Amino acid sequence: MVMKFSTILRHLREGVKNVVRNGWMSFASISSIGISLFILGVFMLLAMNVNNLASQIESQVQIRVFLQLNTEQAKIEQLNNTIGNMPEVSKVKFVSKEEGLEMLRTNLGEDGNELLEGYDNTNNPLPDSFTVEVVDPQTIAFVAKKISAINEAEGEQPISSVKYGQGTVETLFKVTTAVRNIGLVIVAGLAITAMFLISNTIKITILARRREIGIMKLVGATNNFIRWPFFIEGALIGLLGSLVTVALLLFGYSQLVQVSQVELGLMMIKLVTVEESGLLVAALLIGMGTAIGIWGSTISVRKYLKV
């Protein structure tokens, strides 16, 4: 049956009015949605930051490719191209043995002075090497193997060893994956809890109105006629609750990012910015709030319509 336009307007008007008429009940529902989604939002931001941190750590892993001593310049260039052309590789940097020695000195600091004493460019014991960064850190072992395989193709075996922190890197990835999964589980669990909490509150507010629904049926209202204003009311309550929450959450988070910039910056930790996270968090929370509002009210009304 096609609804008259004036009836659609009527339902919209009634839905909005109902939010106002049931002042305290609406307030309870909006608060319940707000608080649940706020907690969910906090954990979403936390999970996003943990994920970001894990990515930062992962992106620091790199492959060192050590060459045989006295490899010819032409061969080095050829290898540089071969490795650089691999699709998984994002960056190749040649580190000459002179640079290698210099880096070693810097890394070891005071303690190294004694150890590296007497070594200079004429008797440098280090080989030339490449530093290779990969696009996806998780593929590092595969890429390392691929680089080692170059030796098989070449007769003279120009590569002496390929190192990427075998063992350590695998453990690191296990930890970051676990942390990510735990974050995801917590967020999913909270989302489900929030849904039940909110729909329960809405159910209680509608329970108080089952008499109203009975009267509406008595004067000859069809089920759809009764349902629509409740549908709109639920959507509105969900929307209001989630909008307030998103505003508070993102404002609070932007303050946190600002305040923590200096202190966390020293520890080389960078929080996800509001610009990066805001849209996703807002869309998810508002979408969820509205959907739950509609779901809760529709389900509950349906129960009392069977008169």
Partner 1 sequence: MSNIYMLELSTGCDNVIEMQDIWKTYADGNHALRGVSVRIDRNEFVYLVGPSGAGKSTFMKLIYREEVPTKGQISVNGFNIGKLKQRKIPFVRRNIGVIFQDFRLLPKLTAYENIAFAMEVIEAPRRIIKRRTMEVLELVGLRGKHASLPAQLSGGEQQRIAIARAIVNNPAVIVADEPTGNLDPETSWGIMNLLEEINFRGTTIVMATHNREIVNRLRKRVIAIENGIIARDEARGEYGYEI
Where along the sequence are the contacts to partner 1 (CB under 8 A)?
4, 6-7, 10, 21-22, 211-212, 214-223, 225, 307
CB nearer to partner 1: give 27 or 119: 27
CB nearer to partner 1: give 231 or 253: 231
CB nearer to partner 1: give 167 or 220: 220
CB of 209 to partner 1, least distance (A): 9
CB nearer to partner 1: give 36 or 205: 205
Task: Determine how β-strand 63-67 pairs with β-strand 89-95.
Answer: unpaired
229-250 b/e (C-beta count within 10 Å ≥ 16 → b): bbbbbbbbbbbbbbbbbbeebb
List CB contacts of 199: < 8 A, sequence separation 6 or more.
292, 295, 296, 299, 300
CB nearer to partner 1: give 22 or 245: 22
Closest CA to 19 of 235, 171, 199, 192: 235
CB of 173 to partner 1, least distance (A): 59
Q: Which helix (H) or strand (E) holds 81?
A: helix 73-84
How many CB atoms neighbour CB 47 within 10 A?
A: 18
CB of 301 to partner 1, least distance (A): 15
Inter-residue contact 159 to 148 (CB < 8 Å): yes
CB of 207 to partner 1, least distance (A): 15
Length of the chain: 307
CB of 223 to partner 1, least distance (A): 8
